[in-house]
Amino acid sequence: MLPSGGWGMDVMVTPHLIKLNGTSVKLKCTFNSCYDVNNKHFSLNWTYQECENCTEDTFVQFRHRLIFSRTEPFWGRVEWSGNLKKNDVSITIHNIQTNDDGFYKCYVLNPPDRHKGLGIIQLSVVTEVDPEHHSIVAVIIGATVGGLLAVLILSLVVVKCVRRKKKQDNQSEEQKTEEEGKTDGEGNEEGEEKRH
């Protein structure tokens, strides 16, 4: 992401959402900018793309005011959930269907920032009668979380082992130094006795 302050904005979204058919989904999109939003210059596009290589269709815009596209499939189902004063340009889509699967892109430009910010959300819509899909999703989530935990535990163990080894090495060095000191001291005493 491009840094803020005249070069661009950071846009924050949840990259992947899984929602149940027939429910509502909030597509949360917020942005960081060094400048306050000015309605005269601020611009926003929400686009939908069925697949990565498919055409992008704009269904929400902000040009001086909010404009909702009157074309299907989103007409009458999209609601503004954002707050421009809080740099929030979120929307909610009601009664989502399986054909709403795809990529939702949130483009934001807040002059004098020079570059558009972009957030991409992949929405997967699942049905109640598709337990296989739920179990696959659960397995993927479980495997991901399990893998992350395993890596975290392994990292902690490695760090602990490295620290313990350093501590043992330091203790060994100290003992060695003490023993050498004792030996030198005893040797000197013997030498002194011989001189007497």
Q: Are strands 10-13 and 29-32 parallel, antiparallel or unpaired?
A: antiparallel
User: pLDDT tens digit string along 6-54?
Assistant: 345 799 999 999 999 999 999 999 999 888 999 999 999 999 999 989 9
The whole-angstrom separation of Cα 61 and Cα 43 is 7
- Degrees to nearest 5, angle at CA 67 with 62 and 73: 120
User: pLDDT tens digit string along 99-116?
Assistant: 999 999 999 999 998 889
- Fold of the domain spanning 10-127: Immunoglobulin-like (2.60.40)
Contact, 19 vs 102, CB < 8 A? no
Return the domain boundaries, the chain: 10-127, 130-178
